[in-house]
Each structure stands twice: as structure tokens, then as C-alpha cells.
Structure 1
Amino acid sequence: MSADDTGFETGFCTALRLHRAGCWAQALAIYDQLLGNPLLPPAQAALAYANRGAALRRLGRADEAVSSCIEALVRCPDMAEAFANLGAILQEADHPLAALDACRRAIALAPGLHAPYLAMAHAGQDCGDHSGALALLHRAAALAPAMPSVRYNLAEALLQHGLFEEGWQAYEARWQAPELALTKPACTKPEWTGPEWTGQDIAGKTLLVVEEQGFGDTLHFIRLIPLVKARGARRIVLHCRAPLVRLLAGMAGVDAVTAALPDPDAYDLWVPLLSLMQRLAVTPDRIPAAVPYLTPPPAAVRHWTGALPETEDLRVGLVWAGDPRLGHAAASRTDARRSLALAQLAPLLTVPGVSWVSLQKGPAAAQLDRPAVFDPMFGVTDFADTAAIVRQLDLVIGVDTAVVHLAGALGVPVWVLSRFSGCWRWLLDRDDSPWYPTLRLFRQQRPGDWAPVVARVREELLRAARLPRHDRGPARTR
């Protein structure tokens, strides 16, 4: 082995370690440094280019990622890893058929490689083949049973099919999947070997429940707290971000809410919020769906009572975009698929007999330039305020974001505009939800095509606006 070979191997191993740890920018810098050597042999250059493409993919730089994989294939036309990386990049760039072709070529070259099966599964989901995608994910898991990304993606597919027992068990791999960039809270006591609650007896103990992921996830799964309390816990302390504290302090079964992790002496055991589904062995036919399970605090209700314009019309809240999370490539792609521009909802805003109320926060709120939509959100400080507004509405219409979970948890009718490759929690082939009795799904029939969805919502809204006021549901009378 020459000195150059040794230098490449050392640098490549360092880059690979950073890559697998989710430090993609640092890995990319090393790949670029290695490729700066004009004497690098074609096989080594191909390897560096292929992995460089994978790092660029994770950083959301799709065009550069494709070019890097092509450079790898120019130097090594039979490199299965480059075809697999290319397939994953093309899938995420909304080219599922091209992705499937690249992945099949990877599998033909290296049948034991798990990555192309993973990318093919996502491409299959993008084409509506959910059963085929599940089979491909099972194959990927058989080839790489310890790979967290494979386990996590298999988990979401299992959950989407309603296979909760296997799905929630596999979902525990989320903490190690680098693309999610989740950090498991360090809720530990040095003298203990296992402070996390995994289903053992908690009678008489204090349990710390720790929020994770998005606001919508917290609003969705906070419903499980009363089931935990029924196991005999003496106290349940909830850790969540500040915008949720005031609202969740009134949740049944919650004894205390804090935005800062409490001292370890303040609790006996702890558990991540979304792990409660696995710990409690919740099945699709045993989903706690009684609503409302949240209610706005009295102070928020007093503050917002009378804040909306008086009207005899159907009062409808509207949210058209989620959090773009520009620093997180995977989350940004999901948000781009689920969010709309307000202009795309213009056909709804012309429906007679509807009084519109904006529930939009974040950058997309700047799109609101229509006087027909009342915007109270400048005065909203947290989810307790939003809840007090939503409780005054007859209906909420929105994309798949935290506000629709809030409306469902409050028992307010809510219509969700769901992307074609929808979130696992909405299951498959249904327009209702076992999670929220008042929720109705309007699914895309083709990826990215919102116009037919908006047209169907408009038809239903015309019917709802013609209903007598006393038939519009309970929200207005609360």
C-alpha cells in the first residue's frame, strides 16, 4: 500500500465516520479534499464521488448530488452504491420512475445491498404502491436488520398499514436514524442502570414524560397521558416547549408541566412521549379517541372572547402551510409536499356565506393580503391562544400541520388537505380518522396536484355554508 493509498484510506474512513454520524457538511469537506488530488486512482475517486453525492443529498443539494453520482459512474460504471445513491436522490427530487430504474440497476449489480430497496420503497409509495413498498422495506430490514434508518422507515410503513405492534417496536429506532437528527433526552440518574419507563410497574412513582419531534406530534399523543396515570403513577410531569405549556397544563392526568428538564431527583422514571404507544400496547381498535381531550385555559378564553368579527356566516379557520424547517433537508422536502401557497386556495375564499379566519403562523403568513380573511394571529403568543380562537370556529380547513391536530383535540370539525404520499398516521384508503372523530381527510389523487383537492373541498364547503346555523356542529356554541 502506497503512502497515497494510506492517506486516502485514513481520510475516507474519517469522512465515512462523520457521514454515518449525520455530520454531512464535515464529511463533504473531506470528500472534496480527497478529490482534489489529481493523482487519485479512478476506483478511489469513484468511491469518494459516490459518497459525496450521498452527503450532498442529505444537505438538500440534489442537483450537485446527482452530478457527483454520475462522476462516480463515469469512473466505475458498475458501482452499485452509486446507482443506489442516485436512486435515493431522484426519489427525493420527485422522479420516482427514474429512481426505480437506478435502484433496479443497483440491485442487479449487488443483490445484498439494502440501500436500493429502501429508495425503491419510497419511490413505490410516491407512486401509490404501499403494499409493494412494505415488502421492499421488509427486504431491506432482512439485509440490514441493525440499520436504524431501515428500521425507522419500516416502522412508518407498518404504522400506515395499521400494524401497530410491530410498527411501534420498530419506531424505537428513530433515535439512531441520522436523517431525523433526533436527540434522545439525557434523563438519567448515574446510580441507575435503567431509568426509562419501558412498561414496568409505576404504582406510586413519579413519571417524567418528555416531548419530542413536532408540535403536532405532542398534541396528537398527549391523549395517552390519562392511560399512563391509570397505571397507578403518583405524579406525571410533562416536559414540553414553552408554546405548549399553558395549554397542556390543563390536560387530564398531568400534574405539572415544565419547559425545562427537571432535576433528576424530581422523578423516578422517564419516557419519550411517542414511545407511550409501544409501552401501552395501543392497537388500532383501542386508540383513545374521546374528544375533546384538550381545552383552552380560562384566561385565554376570556382574552379572545369577542375578538373575532361577529357574523351569521359559517366561521372557518384556515392554515395553508407548515414549518419549512429550512435547516433540515428531509423535513423541508416533506413540508414542500404538504404545504400550499394561499393563492392555491383562492377558490375557497369566494364561497358565499363563509367568514374566514387565518390560523397561519410563520413565513407563509406574509402571503395574507386578502381583506376577506380576518387575521388575529399577530396577537397569538402560544397554543393556548390559538386554542381559544379555534374553539370559536365552526370548521378548520388546513394542511397536515399542528393546527389540525389542535382542532381535532378540541373536538372542532377539521378538514385536512393531505398530500399523495400522506403521513403514516392517516393510515390508507380512508377519509376519516380513528384518532379524531371530527376530522375528515381530502387526499391528493396525484402527487403535487392540489387543484382537484381544493375543488372537492369547495363543493363540501358550499354545502356546509348552506346548512342552518344550528346544524353546523357544536364549536360555535362553546
Structure 2
Amino acid sequence: MHDTAGQNAPDGVVQLHEAAIDHMRAGRHLDAQLCCQQALVRDPGHADTLHLMGLLSIQTGQFDHAVEWLAGAIRRAPKPHYLTALGTALLQQGRGAEALKAFEKAVELEPDNAERWQNLGLILAELQRNHEAILSFQHALQLAPGSWDAANKAAILLHQAGRFEDALVYFNVCAELKPNDIQTFGLRAEALRSLGRYAEALGDLERVRLLDPTNADACNQMGNCLSALGRYEEALSAYDKAFALGDKHALKNKAIALEHFGRFDQAASCYRRALAEDANDASAEWNLALLQLLTGDLEAGWAGREAARWKIPILVEGYPKLSRPLWRGTEPIDGKTILVCPDEGLGDVIQFARYVPMLAARGARVILLVQDELYPLLSRLPGVAQCLPRSATTAPPYDLHCPLTSLPLAFKTRLDTIPAATSYLPAPAPDRVTTWEQRLGSHDRPRVGLVWSGNPRHPRDRARSIPFRTMAGLLDADATFVSLQKDPRAEDRPALLERTDMIDLTAHLTDFVETAALVSCLDLVVTVDTSVAHLSAALGCPTWVLLPYVPDYRWLLDRADSPWYPTMRLFRQDERRDYTPVIERVHAELDAARGRESFRNKGS
């Protein structure tokens, strides 16, 4: 820390400076300041002492004074560690841009010093310039491969950015450098879970438990991994341990596992216990409502869902900020303008669009706001006075508003009152249908559309989607198969390349209107639970949906039909949770239905 000019300093200055350092290290700040002041009386320009006064000012929260002392030291000798201290003081004053310049200058003066790069990374992260911060931490680690701090910071920022594969590289470095660091193993487990690598995540969580047997969160996360692996009995035990250790969230997660196990009464009881522990747990309230809908208690389910949806941040934030009153179904709407807004996925919008004509029948003028992808399809929906894409910047004048998925509650929908018209979407334009007929060619065999995977980001994608190789078990049936699968997954492409017995014209499926026109040319659609299932059935096309053992709430339980769609059949997994027997049943049904009309008759 000595000034390069220290050898020429007046007598006693260096000794006073060193005494000040000893006092500061011992926590005797006042004594340190007195020594510094005495040194500066003898040599007002002694840079190391000016720097030390700056450090003492930082430690005592006097950041204005710190900046003055450090600026003086830098004028005398612009050393990297002086600049680092100045950057720290400026940052504490909220002067982030100036602080960044100080840290950058320190790196410029000492580019081979890992600590300088790490400090630069810290200020960049503080300023939310995370990509540059990651690069700085990576450079620091190249200069100092043993720097756990640099590896840890890079790993955490990459994890926060959703770059889980990259984060794992640095979590692995951290684990090697500190094999007993609980945070490293916990965060690495999170990254592995996000990548669907549940077995590996479980190993890290077991390591956390070994290091800290009372870690309730680790038990809870172990339960989540075990549940994802289908090891439900072990998951239930892990959740019980987590709850016993004080993690109240474990009750809700246990309920989810019980639900996936098919133990619905116990799941409902567990959700209620979770709500008894925390009445404000909106996700437990939401999950209980969906379970009630799944088991056919629509009255309780719609009411619970509506109560919970306004407490769940992602749903509240995703809904337009509107000033007019919310319509709950009780107020008269004759002569009123009602703005109906989407609040969930594309399939939900297609399913619940059936309520729009019912609003119009009550005398309302309906403005329908929809996702941009659905705007061309729903702009001609019966009952819609005006349709707007969600990207529209301003809403037209309206009197009331309502989320689309709240309409079943507003209309007091029960199982026996579900509005189930065979076809409620506008028929595709004849010229589009003709174009698709020409693309498809001869119609000498039944045409069957196929969809085998949905949104990979859906929380239940693992249960809902099917590998193409499994779905390909249908392709030797006596039919012409047509792919409706947009953006097939990388893992499916090798199997797709092996097959020449399926028509793939998906490059022409530029929007839902084109998909609707293609579906209108088909005799049957076989699909997993995706928006195409709703589109096909809402057009009145025979639609066979392949469902996991515990499906989404709208498909209910223990029935092969859907009260929502008259032309739909449901093919469910059994307790083995295997789609191969499901595909075999569908194949047998295809073989039994030789004529095109038989699909429609079976589904109706």
C-alpha cells in the first residue's frame, strides 16, 4: 500500500501511515484517522495516506469525504486500488456511471489482475448490465482459475439469465473448489431441475441434506425431483420431512404429488391444510380450484379459480390495466359494451370463445381482445362487434371488462349446462380450403392429422407430449397421415427423417387460419393436449386427444368423451403412465373405422 514516493516522504510519514493501517485493521478507526491526519500535516500529498483516509471514510459511511480523499490520492498517483476504492465510494452515493469509469480505469491500468476484473463484474451486475458482468467474471476466472468468487458470480448470473447449461459449467468449478458449499449444490440442483435432469438434481440435493440435515428447502426440492421422476411415494415422504422441518410450502407440493398419484381426495385435503397454514397462499387456492374442476365440481371450481386468479402475480401482471368495472355475471349488460380479454393460453381462448355469442345474446356489444396469433381466426367470431390483437396500443371505449376464462363462472356453468355447439368457429374461407385440398392430393383414404408435442415450456409438458417415435406407431394404419406439428423438437428429427409415410406441409401453416383450413380438409385429428385439439374440435372435426393419467382440469376424469366438444374422444393413459398402450388403442380404433364418416359418427 506504500506510495512510490514514500521513500522521499518527510520523516515519520511512512511510520504514521503504517501505524494507521495497524489501527484500522484492529478496528480502531479514530486512532487510524489521527495517525493519517498527523502524516498529512507533514506531507499533504502523501497518496497512500489520502487513500487510507478514503477507506476509513467508506468504512464509517462518509462517502462524500471518501470521494474527496480518494480523488486527491488519484491526482497524486492513479493506482488501480485507489480507483477501485473510488468506484466503491461513488457507487454508495448512487453515482453508478462514474463508479463504472473508475473500475474500468483500474482494469485498464492492471489488465492481468483477476481482482480488478472481478470488481468490474460486480459493478456491472449492480448496474444490471449482466451480460458484460458475466464476461468480466469469466475473464477473472481465466486469470485466476482458483477464484471461487468469480466462478460463483458467473454461475449465479448465468442461472438468473436462464442459461442453465452455461451456469452448470461454473457451478461445477465452484463444487470442485468448495466441495462442502451448500449454496453451490442447491443452486446447481435448481439448474439441473430447470433442464429436466431430475436424477442429477436429486444427487445434489442429497448432498445438501448430508451437509445440513435440517435443511427443509432441500427436502422440499427433493420431493419435487422425485415427483417429476414419478417416484411419488418417496416424494410424499420427502414433503413430510420438509414440513416437519418448517417448510409450509411442502404441504402444497405434497398435494400436487397426491394429485399426480391420482389420490384426489387426499390432495384436496392437503390443499385445504396448506390454506389453513397460510390463507394467502394463492397458488394452493388456485390448485384446489383446478382439482375441483377436474373432479366435476364446477360450481366450487369456477368460484375458487376466480378468487385465486386476482392474487397470482403472473396472471394479474399479464392482464391489461383497465379502469372500468369488472363484470362478474350479475350486472345487466344489455346495451353495454364489454371488453373481453385473454388471460391464459391459446387453447383456453379457443375453448372459451364459445361464450362470446352468449354475451351478445344478452344485448352486449362485445369487444374481443386476443393474442396476435389468434386475431385472424377470431376476428369473424359470431357475436364479436370488434376484435383487437393484444398488441393494440389503446382500448376503445367500453363499460365493463371480463377475462375470457372467467365467463364460465359468470354464466354459472355446470356440467349439464356447458355450451357445446358442434362447431362455433367461423368456417375457413373456401379458397383456402381449396388450396389445401390441392396440396394434399387424392383423398382415396381417410386423412388423419397428427400432433405429438405441445409447448415445451408448459409445466406439464413432460406428461403431455409424446416422442414422435411413439406416435409413429400409428403410421402403418390404413390412412393418409398429415403432420400438424409445428416446430418439431430436435430429439424427434432423426425419427422424422426415417419416415416418408406422412405428409408434411407445415411450412405453409403460417397462422391459425391456415391450420383451420387444413384441418377442414381432414377426416380426423389425433393430438396430444395442445391448442390444435381445441381448434380442431371447435371446427367440428372429429378429434381424438391423447391424455396423461392425470389430465388438465377441462378433460375431467373417467370418461371417453368431452362435454365441451361433441366431436371429441379422449384416450387416457392408465396408471402405468405410458403412451404406448394409448397409441395401440388408437391404432385399433383406426383399423376399425375404415370409412371416413365413421370417424365423425364415433366422435359425435
Interval of TM-score (by shorter of Structure 1 and Structure 2) = 0.7 to 0.9
Q: Is the 8 A contact 1:319 1:358 kept in 2?
A: yes
**For 2:188 and 2:278, how far apart are their aligned partners in 1?**
21
Residue 500 of structure 2: aligned partner: 371
1:103 paired residue number: 239
**Structure 1 equivalent of residue 465 of structure 2:** 339
Secondary structure, counterpart of 1:183 in structure 2: helix
Aligned-partner residue type, residue 160 of structure 2:
A
1:10 aligned partner: none
CA contact (8 A) 1:206 1:267 kept: yes
Quote the Cα distance in structure 2 between the aligned partners of 1:470 and 1:270. Answer: 42
TM-score between both structures, scaled by the size of structure 2: 0.64
CA–CA distance in 1 between the matches of 2:564 and 2:382? 17
Q: Is the 8 A contact 2:529 2:545 kept in 1?
A: yes
- The one of 168, 171, 178 equivalent to 2:305 is 171
The amino acid of 1:324's aligned partner reads P
| Cα 1:54–1:236 shift into 2, 3 Å | farther
Partner secondary structure for residue 445 of structure 1? coil
The CA deviation string for residues 406-459 of structure 1, in whole angstroms up to 9 with x for no partner, is 111011111111111211111111111111111111111135411111111111
1-structure distance, mates of 2:294, 2:185: 32
The verdict on how the C-alpha distance between 1:429 and 1:438 changes in structure 2, with shifts beyond 3 A counting, is same
Name the residue aligned to 2:475.
349
Q: Which residue, out of 190, 194, 210, partners 2:341?
A: 210
Residues 317, 393 of structure 1: 8 Å contact kept? yes
Give me the CA root mean square deviation.
3.2
How many Å apart are 1:51 and its aligned residue? 7.7
Deviations 1:301-331 (A, max 9, x none): 3443433221221111111111213xxxxx2
Could you tell me which residue of structure 1 aligns to residue 361 of structure 2? 230
Verify: 1:418 aligned to 2:547, yes or no: yes
Q: Is the 8 A contact 2:474 2:583 kept in 1?
A: yes
Counterparts in 2 of 1:2-401, with a 5 A limit? 25=160, 56=191, 59-60=194-195, 62=198, 66=202, 69-110=205-246, 113-172=247-306, 173-174=308-309, 176-177=311-312, 183-189=317-323, 194-199=324-329, 200-233=331-364, 235-259=365-389, 260-261=391-392, 263-298=394-429, 299-325=431-457, 331=458, 333-352=459-478, 354-364=479-489, 366=493, 368-369=496-497, 370-401=499-530
My pick for the range that moved more, 159-168 or 361-370, is 361-370
C-alpha distance in 1 between matches for 2:360 and 2:441: 41
Q: Name the residue aligned to 1:16.
A: none
Is 1:445 paired with 2:574?
A: yes
Cα displacement (A) at 1:349: 0.7
TM-score, with structure 1 as normaliser: 0.80
Would the aligned equivalents of 1:187 and 1:264 in 2 still touch at CA under 8 Å? Answer: no
Q: Structure 1's 339 and 175: CA in aligned 2 closer, same or farther, altered over 3 A?
A: farther
Aligned counterparts of 2:195 and 2:486: Cα–Cα separation in 1 = 24
Which structure has the bigger radius of gyration?
Answer: 2
Are the structure 2 counterparts of residues 451 and 68 from structure 1 closer, same or farther at C-alpha, using a change threshold of 3 Å? closer
TM-superposed CA distance for 1:273, in Å, is 1.1
Q: Quote the offset at 1:53 in angstroms.
A: 7.9
Q: Closer, same or farther in 2 for the Cα pair 1:81/1:145, shift >3 Å?
A: same
Deviation at 1:223, TM superposition (A): 0.8
Unpaired runs of 5+ residues, structure 2, are 1-26, 28-158, 175-179
Query: Which amino acid is 2:483 matched to?
Result: S
Secondary structure, counterpart of 1:255 in structure 2: strand
Match for 2:351: what amino acid?
H
Aligned residue identity for 1:473: R
In structure 2, the CA distance between the partners of 1:447 and 1:137, relative to structure 1 (3 Å rule), is: farther
Compared with structure 1, are the counterparts of its residues 280 and 458 closer, same or farther at alpha carbon in structure 2 (3 Å cutoff)? same
Letter in 2 for 1:400: D
Letter in 2 for 1:457: V
Contact 2:186-2:208 within 8 A present in 1 as well: no
Q: Which letter maps to 1:144?
A: D
Deviation at 1:75, TM superposition (A): 4.5
**Alpha-carbon separation, structure 1, partners of 2:501 and 2:347:** 28
User: Partners in 2 of 1:176 and 1:85 — Cα distance?
Assistant: 24
Q: What secondary structure does 2:317 align onto?
A: coil
What is the DSSP-based 3-state SS (H/G/I as helix, E as strand, rest coil) of the residue aligned with 1:416?
Answer: strand
CA 1:166 to 1:60, structure 2 compared with 1: closer, same or farther past 3 Å?
A: farther
Q: Name the SS of the counterpart of 2:357 in structure 1.
A: helix
What's the CA shift string for 1:114-143, capped at 9, x where partnerless? 322222222222222222222222222222
Q: What is the distance in 2 between the residues matched to 1:51 and 1:379?
A: 45
Paired residues of 2:483 and 2:503 also in contact (CA < 8 A): yes
In structure 1, list runs of 5 or more residues that go unmatched: 4-23, 37-41, 326-330
Q: 4+ residue runs of structure 1 moved beyond 4 angstroms?
A: 26-29, 48-65, 469-472
Pick closer, same or farther for the CA change 1:153–1:95 going to 2, 3 Å.
same
CA deviations on 1:143-176 (whole Å, 9 max, x unpaired) are 2221121112112111101112221222232454
Distance 1:57 1:149, change over 3 A: farther
Give the SS at the match of 1:455: helix
DSSP-derived class of the 1:368 partner: helix
Higher RCO by CA contacts (8 Å cutoff, separation 6 or greater): 1
In structure 2, C-alpha distance between the alignment counterparts of 1:87 and 1:53, rounded to whole Å = 16
Q: Secondary structure at the match of 1:316?
A: strand
- Amino acid across the alignment from 2:352: F
Q: How many residues align?
A: 426
Q: How big is each residue's C-alpha offset from its partner over 1:179-237, in whole Å with a ceiling of 9 and x where there is no partner?
A: x6773323323xxxx5332333322222111123221111111111112222321x211
Residues 305, 256 of structure 1: alpha-carbon distance in 2 compared, 3 angstrom cutoff = farther
